[in-house]
Structure 1
Amino acid sequence: MNPPSKNVNKLRKEFSELSALSKLSEMMSSDITLSEFLEYCVSSLTRELDAQGAGLFLSDNDNGHFTVKTRIGLCDDTVADIHSGTDPLVKWVMEVHEPLLIIDELMDPRVREENIKSIIVSPLKIKNRVIGIFYLTRTRPGDNFTAIDQELVTIFAAQAAFAIENSRLYRMTQEKIRELNKLNKIGKMLTSSFDIDHILKIIVNTIKDMINIEFGALLLLGEEKLNITLVVPSNINDSTVDEFEATMVETMKILTMEEVQMVKTKVIYNENYDWSDQESRGPTSIESLLSVPLIVRGTVQGILNVAHSQENFYTKDNLRTISNFATQISMALENAKAYMEMEDKFKEQGLLMEVSKALTSTLDLDRILKLVVKITADLLKVKTCALRLYDKKTCEFTVRASIGLTDHLLRQTSLKKGEGIIGKVFETGAPVAISDISKSPDFKHYEILRSEGIVSMLAVPISIKDQIIGVLNVYATQRRWFTDNEINLLSTIGLQAAAAIENARLYTFMHENFMNTIKALSAAIDTKDHYTHGHSKNVMDFSALIAQEMGMTPIEVELIRFAGLLHDIGKIGVSESILSKKSGLTDEEFAIISTHPKLGTMIMDSVDFLKKISPITYHHHERWDGKGYPMGLKGEDIPLGSRIISVADAFDAITSKRSYSGSKTDDFGISEVCRCSGTQFDPAVVEAFASVMEKRKSGLLKIDEAPFLLTEQLMRELS
């Protein structure tokens, strides 16, 4: 068994690291600058890991050098080697993309400075690209970094890399917006709007002033599809619109010499131009057409079309007029397109920042997974989304969160490693986009998905530290060609989700370690006196049930549970001969054992996490009539939690075998507690205790119904 002081130190260190990670998440979603955030990372790692030297260096891919962003305690020679890119440890990390831990017993000959005894070098990675490193050193012999220290640095590195990348994307977006604004000023004479539909109307109306037209159309090539916007008279018939659309598609094929895979048409009705005599003319067809390519940087990006229902209506002069105007039109449309793309990109970055804030707002894994699918569905404008995590035990992908999927589909679409599109994404680590699932040979459960109306699918890996832990995918009920931007967006969400999932898992792991440490401390108390073995747990359980019966909040109940478990921690400092004495205690011995509340407070006050519950344990030997110790508090001056633990403590002492007496029955213990109501105990607490025992006796309540609820809210409360 570890000495109590080591357990306390371990507890203090674990909580300090947990607090640092929590603070790191908070700062990620705050308004601080990148420099301030990176300085916090280095200073926090230096403090948490007791490093004598630490620094953050960003890579300059152009010359192989590193820029010093922030440093603490590193000697100039070490910094110079890192800056020049000649440090062999840094070169190794940059080559293999993995963190490096060097300890005294395995001293690496690549370490140049003799005073350094232990080193951690951890890469800052974005999409398999190393953008910098954390470099930490210890100089004291035997004071080596551990694998757990390395894991903490790795987490900080992931968060720092994410912050740097977000900052870079934000700056890039801002620069592009500024550049776009300049382009807007240059093209101000050409356009009064960046709305392509509005620009099209302006173009058509401008050309109409030059030459007489009845129809106007703008065709723009996008990713694997042709976007057609038609401007037509307000009272045109549908058959003429269909004819005009078909003519536009054929014209586009001829000019670009490419097959058009998908056509998306939008019709704008021009209220300023109509056919008042259309019915008298009968069915109308297009007889004259002028088509001019819109060329941007030597490539046909679209076509401007004007048409008329009269045969041979346009002349070569009309064609020359429109051709001369085409360059200006191309510039105006390109500006509008670029503006909208940048606007969409800016909105996307803003949304991704909101995603980051949302995912760092909680460390509850189930809540994180639900947030991921909801945010994904909103961003990609789909109604169906699923997040699957890989279960190593069953070798299956388990749907942990979904939206829009029926229970039937979820039950019937289990997948194992290597099966279907999900398995392919898992094995290759690459996104897969399918516009038509019926044409994909790798697709599994096609009939089930088809019955749900699903046509298209996009799936991306969820990976952390180059290890894929799951797959995030969206479904569309109409045929959809997912763009590169959409694939990148979903991939970015997958990365953010992976980081959030890893943080939640680490948080859970640290909680478990924390609870094990707490229980070990409690066990250390019980083992000093085998007669009281299990006493701390019993007091904890009874205290929680009494608190629940009194209507206290879940957080208050949990605080009392912790206090009940640790109420006798001060007995660690009391001699075993006194604790296990079979005869009555002398006055001197009683005075010694009466110091255990104070000793317990001294222990818990040395750990920030336990300061909030130490007043409860300190006063658990006070009496309602003021005749208790250590301060002789009376009535409601005694903390309620202390009054509850006092009853639970007394009952378990009465009904348990002690060195000085045998065990008594529960009924006897209950009667004794009730007898002392109003003198030793708070009557309200005794009443709740009696109710609990009655329910327990009748089988309506079990001790096991009060499990630990170590929630984020409780952690913040204890902090």
Structure 2
Amino acid sequence: MNFQRASLREVQRYLNDIARSFIEKSGADGIAIYTYDVKTKLLYFLTSVGNDIYLKNAKILRLGRDIPVPITSKRFPLLLKPGRKYKLFSNIPGRILIIPVVFNGDTTGILIVQFLNRKLNAEQISKINKESLMLGVCLHSYVILKTMSDEVTGLKMVDDINRIVVTELNPERLYNKMYEQVKTIVRVKNLRIDLYDREKNSLNTVFFIHNGKREDGHPQIIIGNSKILSEIFRRRKVMLSSEYTRLLKKFNRAELSSDMDVASFIALPLMVRDNFLGVLMCWDKYRKNIFTNSVVRFLKLMANQSAIAIYNARLFEQLNRAINDLTLLYQIEYHISSILSIDALLKTAVDLIDSALGNLITTILIPDERNEKLEIKAITQNVKIKPGFESVPLYRGIVGEAMKTKRLIYVADVDKDEKYVPAIDGIKSEIAIPLISGTKVLGVIDFQSNIKDRFDLMTIDLLDDIAHRIATFLENAILYEKIEKSYTETIKALVLAMEVKDSYTRGHSERVTELAMKLAERIGIADGRKRLLYWAGLLHDIGKIGISEAILNKPGALDEFEFSEIKRHPVEGARMLEQIEGLKEVVPIIKHHHENFDGTGYPDGLKENEIPLESRILAVCDVYDAMTTIRSYRKPFSSEGAMDVIESFSGNRLDPDIVKEFLKMMGRKK
């Protein structure tokens, strides 16, 4: 046979033919052929001819335990007679002749020959040994071809790994593909991938196949708490069954998993240059010696390429996370930068955080006016606070500690922290960050999770950045509200000065404003326009300052001159306010709040949508309050009576749509 051109299958078939010929010439009853691995000192079953029933459980033999050592070292045949000491052959009838197969000085395998009834002398053994030479040549050719075939398989596998694994950036799909690649190398039903967390010095199980099925929910293992994992981490080399068994005996047998006292085991470190990423472990509970030299070599190739893929996937994940974090920071800054209401600003910030991060409970607390308590101003939707915990003493709890120390406080396990205040059920970890602007603490933003040790460094940095941005704009809102409060008090003082002239209308402007704001909310006016309506409501009669008290307080009906004086107040009020920069947008509302919907009003005879919406709202509320309060010239109407009159004005003096909404708001009975 031309071995240089033959295929592996052809050589194996030829090997079987020669083995049959050998049995005929030697008078043997059966023969088994094994290849020999010098490095592992293991013999691997290749084929058998004749009576091979005793070989069923002998696919892999270990030198010294199953086969006498002199077979490979001295390289001469060894005859084992009945009553032999080697357990493997103790129950086999007849005589066993073990012949080393040597080619060019190297032992490439052994022949195990069985003679049931024939006795052998030295001359016959020598003759049988010579007859086995052709088998040796054929076996050597098979070993060479098998090695070459394995190399080709290995190269193809590396190519497959590069193509299938290295380009995968999704971690979950990557782990599944790693498992599929391992199964092409060696048939295993148990595999575990643990990744190293440098920050916590722990290995986290990210993928676990147990008896062929996926399992989840395995905790992180602190490397210092695991002797076996510490050894893998320290050595950063492949660990096989023998070393693993030694460590199991030395340390705690159940350390890694309750059923990892196994027949075959391998742990492969996942490394990129000198960077330890984790460990890939495979095992079999029943089959021994399945991780042969060639299998280990291919698994190492696969692990090395997979480590690069994991490294790339982590970088990609970190990049995506950084982009998402920056997007969230931008969204928060963009949406809250123009909000001047403290409550609206904090609620918007919490909603944005919750929609981006999820699985967290976000709470923002602000000191009360007396600076005695921290009050909840915004919290994740649908979160139930236990009764009595809507506020906490200023320096109590984890949030109080952050407020007091002016620094971020992170508690990985709240059950172990005596400062923790259990305001919400199921919380396991918490981080509180003071909202600091300059040197002043404006409040605290608090993040809670139902997972222990939920917050990694990257998340903590993000939350700290969020807190910084919220604090910046919160300070602006607080300053604005202070100015707004001062401004409001000034305007109310001005209104009060005007109302002092007319004792019958005292409080009228504030009542009209309150009704107008409720009606605007019902109609759905934007916040900016509601603010204008608020100022217009307070100031709508400010022009009466220039009207005689005698006219304002006249007990009877007004004459034509007096009524013309009263009709001047919208224009006078507008003229007064247009000199104030911050109130210029209010001027048209005040000027036209006495226009009629049908165009018969004053001062300009505007009609329908020509009249500002805010003016039409004020008109309805003004009429209602004027009619339900006592005047110098009449008694007050009842609420129902006033609504009857307003209903009669619908479509002529008043906007019918606004009248309809107003009557609904007031709970019109008929």
Q: Which bin holds the TM-score, normalised by the shorter protein?
A: 0.5 to 0.7
| Aligned residue number for residue 273 of structure 1 | none
Secondary structure at the counterpart of residue 289 of structure 2: coil
Among 661, 666, 688, the alignment partner of 2:635 is 666
The answer to whether 1:516 aligns with 2:484 is no
| Aligned residue number for residue 464 of structure 1 | 437
| Change over 3 Å in CA distance of 1:649–1:562 after alignment to 2 | farther
Task: For 1:318 and 1:470, locate their aligned partners in 2 and report how far apart those are by CA, in whole Å.
Answer: 61
Structure 2 counterpart of 1:473, one-letter code: D
Among 465, 468, 478, the alignment partner of 1:505 is 478
Instruction: Give CA-to-partner distance per residue, 1:495-517, whole Å, 9 cap, x none.
Output: 33334433433343233233234
- Preserved contact between residue 646 and residue 681 of structure 1 (Cα < 8 Å): no
The answer to whether 1:480 aligns with 2:453 is yes
The answer to whether 1:330 aligns with 2:330 is no
Instruction: Give CA-to-partner distance per residue, 1:134-161, whole Å, 9 cap, x none.
Output: xxxxxxxxxxxxxxxxxxxxxxxxxxxx
Q: CA deviation at 1:206?
A: 3.8
- Preserved contact between residue 516 and residue 617 of structure 2 (Cα < 8 Å): no
The structure whose Rg is larger is 2
Structure 2 counterpart of 1:604, one-letter code: L
Q: CA deviation at 1:482?
A: 2.0
| Change over 3 Å in CA distance of 1:599–1:351 after alignment to 2 | same
The answer to whether 1:298 aligns with 2:274 is yes
The answer to whether 1:538 aligns with 2:515 is no
| Aligned residue number for residue 423 of structure 1 | 400
Secondary structure at the counterpart of residue 666 of structure 1: coil
Task: For 1:680 and 1:533, locate their aligned partners in 2 and report how far apart those are by CA, in whole Å.
Answer: 27
- Preserved contact between residue 376 and residue 490 of structure 1 (Cα < 8 Å): no
| Aligned residue number for residue 323 of structure 2 | 346
Secondary structure at the counterpart of residue 166 of structure 2: coil
Q: CA deviation at 1:485?
A: 1.5
Instruction: Give CA-to-partner distance per residue, 1:437-476, whole Å, 9 cap, x none.
Output: 2333x4244xx56x93333222222222332222222333
Q: CA deviation at 1:629?
A: 6.5
The answer to whether 1:494 aligns with 2:446 is no
Alignment of 1:650-665 (within 5 A): 655=631, 663-664=632-633
In the alignment, structure 2 segments of 5+ residues that lack a partner are 1-161, 236-258, 657-665
- Preserved contact between residue 543 and residue 644 of structure 1 (Cα < 8 Å): no
| Change over 3 Å in CA distance of 1:654–1:682 after alignment to 2 | farther
- Preserved contact between residue 511 and residue 625 of structure 2 (Cα < 8 Å): no
Q: CA deviation at 1:331?
A: 1.9
- Preserved contact between residue 342 and residue 474 of structure 2 (Cα < 8 Å): yes
Secondary structure at the counterpart of residue 266 of structure 2: strand
Alignment of 1:704-719 (within 5 A): none
| Change over 3 Å in CA distance of 1:505–1:332 after alignment to 2 | same
Secondary structure at the counterpart of residue 382 of structure 1: coil
- Preserved contact between residue 513 and residue 534 of structure 2 (Cα < 8 Å): yes
| Change over 3 Å in CA distance of 1:484–1:571 after alignment to 2 | same
Task: For 1:603 and 1:537, locate their aligned partners in 2 and report how far apart those are by CA, in whole Å.
Answer: 21
Task: For 1:532 and 1:504, locate their aligned partners in 2 and report how far apart those are by CA, in whole Å.
Answer: 36
- Preserved contact between residue 520 and residue 530 of structure 2 (Cα < 8 Å): no
Instruction: Give CA-to-partner distance per residue, 1:234-277, whole Å, 9 cap, x none.
Output: 64699xx99xxx9x96642212249xxxxxxxxxxxxxxxxxxx
- Preserved contact between residue 564 and residue 645 of structure 1 (Cα < 8 Å): no
Q: TM-score normalized by structure 2?
A: 0.53
Secondary structure at the counterpart of residue 388 of structure 2: helix
| Change over 3 Å in CA distance of 1:362–1:212 after alignment to 2 | same
Task: For 1:340 and 1:636, locate their aligned partners in 2 and report how far apart those are by CA, in whole Å.
Answer: 55
Q: CA deviation at 1:436?
A: 2.1
The answer to whether 1:196 aligns with 2:167 is no
- Preserved contact between residue 535 and residue 652 of structure 1 (Cα < 8 Å): no
Q: CA deviation at 1:333?
A: 1.6
Structure 2 counterpart of 1:603, one-letter code: M
| Aligned residue number for residue 110 of structure 1 | none
Task: For 1:358 and 1:429, locate their aligned partners in 2 and report how far apart those are by CA, in whole Å.
Answer: 26
Q: CA deviation at 1:543?
A: 8.6
Instruction: Give CA-to-partner distance per residue, 1:21-52, whole Å, 9 cap, x none.
Output: xxxxxxxxxxxxxxxxxxxxxxxxxxxxxxxx
The answer to which structure has the higher helix fraction is: 1
Q: CA deviation at 1:640?
A: 5.0
Task: For 2:648 and 2:196, locate their aligned partners in 1 and report how far apart those are by CA, in whole Å.
Answer: 88
Task: For 1:554 and 1:426, locate their aligned partners in 2 and report how far apart those are by CA, in whole Å.
Answer: 38
| Change over 3 Å in CA distance of 1:345–1:306 after alignment to 2 | same
The answer to whether 1:453 aligns with 2:422 is no
Secondary structure at the counterpart of residue 199 of structure 1: helix
The answer to whether 1:387 aligns with 2:364 is yes
| Change over 3 Å in CA distance of 1:521–1:652 after alignment to 2 | farther
| Aligned residue number for residue 288 of structure 2 | 311
The answer to whether 1:227 aligns with 2:204 is yes
Structure 1 counterpart of 2:263, one-letter code: E
Instruction: Give CA-to-partner distance per residue, 1:317-348, whole Å, 9 cap, x none.
Output: 54444445544332222111111121222223
- Preserved contact between residue 571 and residue 596 of structure 1 (Cα < 8 Å): yes
| Aligned residue number for residue 255 of structure 2 | none
Task: For 1:626 and 1:209, locate their aligned partners in 2 and report how far apart those are by CA, in whole Å.
Answer: 88
- Preserved contact between residue 629 and residue 635 of structure 2 (Cα < 8 Å): no
Q: CA deviation at 1:398?
A: 2.5
Structure 2 counterpart of 1:195, one-letter code: N
Structure 2 counterpart of 1:198, one-letter code: R
- Preserved contact between residue 429 and residue 453 of structure 2 (Cα < 8 Å): yes
- Preserved contact between residue 540 and residue 561 of structure 1 (Cα < 8 Å): no
Secondary structure at the counterpart of residue 455 of structure 2: coil
In the alignment, structure 1 segments of 5+ residues that lack a partner are 1-186, 259-282, 656-662, 688-699, 702-719
Task: For 1:315 and 1:622, locate their aligned partners in 2 and report how far apart those are by CA, in whole Å.
Answer: 97
Secondary structure at the counterpart of residue 252 of structure 1: helix
- Preserved contact between residue 536 and residue 567 of structure 1 (Cα < 8 Å): no
| Change over 3 Å in CA distance of 1:591–1:236 after alignment to 2 | closer
Task: For 1:486 and 1:305, locate their aligned partners in 2 and report how far apart those are by CA, in whole Å.
Answer: 30
Q: CA deviation at 1:388?
A: 2.5
Task: For 1:329 and 1:545, locate their aligned partners in 2 and report how far apart those are by CA, in whole Å.
Answer: 69
| Aligned residue number for residue 149 of structure 2 | none
- Preserved contact between residue 436 and residue 471 of structure 2 (Cα < 8 Å): yes
- Preserved contact between residue 571 and residue 593 of structure 1 (Cα < 8 Å): yes
| Change over 3 Å in CA distance of 1:237–1:311 after alignment to 2 | farther
Structure 1 counterpart of 2:502, one-letter code: T
| Change over 3 Å in CA distance of 1:237–1:395 after alignment to 2 | closer
Task: For 1:358 and 1:535, locate their aligned partners in 2 and report how far apart those are by CA, in whole Å.
Answer: 41
- Preserved contact between residue 554 and residue 633 of structure 2 (Cα < 8 Å): no
| Aligned residue number for residue 413 of structure 2 | 436
| Change over 3 Å in CA distance of 1:426–1:188 after alignment to 2 | farther
Secondary structure at the counterpart of residue 400 of structure 2: helix
- Preserved contact between residue 625 and residue 679 of structure 1 (Cα < 8 Å): no
| Change over 3 Å in CA distance of 1:252–1:636 after alignment to 2 | closer
Q: CA deviation at 1:487?
A: 1.4
Structure 2 counterpart of 1:390, one-letter code: P
Task: For 2:187 and 2:599, locate their aligned partners in 1 and report how far apart those are by CA, in whole Å.
Answer: 103
Task: For 2:646 and 2:191, locate their aligned partners in 1 and report how far apart those are by CA, in whole Å.
Answer: 93
Task: For 2:637 and 2:414, locate their aligned partners in 1 and report how far apart those are by CA, in whole Å.
Answer: 72
| Change over 3 Å in CA distance of 1:523–1:681 after alignment to 2 | farther
- Preserved contact between residue 387 and residue 399 of structure 1 (Cα < 8 Å): yes
Q: Which moved more, 1:564-573 or 1:307-316?
A: 564-573
Task: For 2:580 and 2:408, locate their aligned partners in 1 and report how far apart those are by CA, in whole Å.
Answer: 47
- Preserved contact between residue 363 and residue 504 of structure 1 (Cα < 8 Å): yes
Task: For 2:164 and 2:375, locate their aligned partners in 1 and report how far apart those are by CA, in whole Å.
Answer: 58
Structure 2 counterpart of 1:220, one-letter code: L
| Aligned residue number for residue 286 of structure 1 | 262
Q: CA RMSD in A?
A: 5.8
| Change over 3 Å in CA distance of 1:378–1:193 after alignment to 2 | same
Overall identity of the aligned pairs, in %: 25
Instruction: Give CA-to-partner distance per residue, 1:45-90, whole Å, 9 cap, x none.
Output: xxxxxxxxxxxxxxxxxxxxxxxxxxxxxxxxxxxxxxxxxxxxxx
